[in-house]
Amino acid sequence: MTRWLTQILSGVFVLLLFSPRYALAQGWFEWGTQGSYVHQFAHLLFFAAMVFFIFAMRHEKLQRYRGFLYLIWGCAILAWWNLDSVAGHTLEWGLTNPVILGHGLSERLLMENTETWLYYITKIDHFALLIPAFYLYYRGLKVLAQESQSETP
Partner 1 sequence: MTTMPLFPIWFFQVLGSVAVLVFSLLSLRITRRLTARDPENALWLFLDWLTMGFVIFSISHAVSHFLQEIINYYGPSQSLWQLRRVFGGLDSIIYVVIAATTLFFHRIQRLYRRMEADHHHLEETSHEILALNREMEALVMERTMSEMALGMAHGIRNPLHVIGGFSHRLLRKTDPDDPTRAWLSTIAEEARRIEQMVSRFESLAQRKESFFNQEDLNSIVSTTLQLLRPELNAKNITLVTSFHPEPLVGRLNGHLLKVAISHLIRNAVEATRPRGKITVRTLVEKDYAVLTIQDTGKGMPPDVVDKVFVPFYTTKIGGTGLGMVFVRQIVDEHRGVITLDSKVGRGTTVTIRLPYRFAEKVELEEAPQTPPAAEAPPESSGGAV
Q: Which residues bind partner 1 (CB under 8 A)?
A: 13, 16-17, 19, 21, 24, 27-29, 35, 38-39, 42-43, 45-46, 48-50, 52-53, 56, 60, 100-101, 104-112, 120, 123-124, 126-128, 130-131, 134-135, 137-138, 141-142, 144-145, 148, 152
What distance in Å separates the CA atoms of residue 109 and residue 23, rounded to the nearest whole number?
A: 33
Write down the least CB distance from residue 90 to partner 1, Å: 15
Residue 96: strand pairing partners: none
Dihedral sign, Cα of residue 41, residue 44, residue 48, residue 50:
positive
What distance in Å separates the CA atoms of residue 69 and residue 90, rounded to the nearest whole number?
A: 32
Q: Which is nearer to partner 1, 3 or 108 (CB)?
A: 108
User: What length is written for the chain?
Assistant: 153
Q: Which is nearer to partner 1, 3 or 48 (CB)?
A: 48
| φ and ψ at residue 101, rounded to 5 degrees | -105, 155
Write down the least CB distance from residue 118 to partner 1, Å: 12
Q: Are 115 and 90 a contacting pair, CB within 8 Å?
A: no
Write down the least CB distance from residue 24 to partner 1, Å: 6
Write down the least CB distance from residue 96 to partner 1, Å: 16
Q: Which is nearer to partner 1, 4 or 110 (CB)?
A: 110
Q: Which is nearer to partner 1, 3 or 21 (CB)?
A: 21
Helix axes 66-94, 34-59, angle to 10 degrees: 160
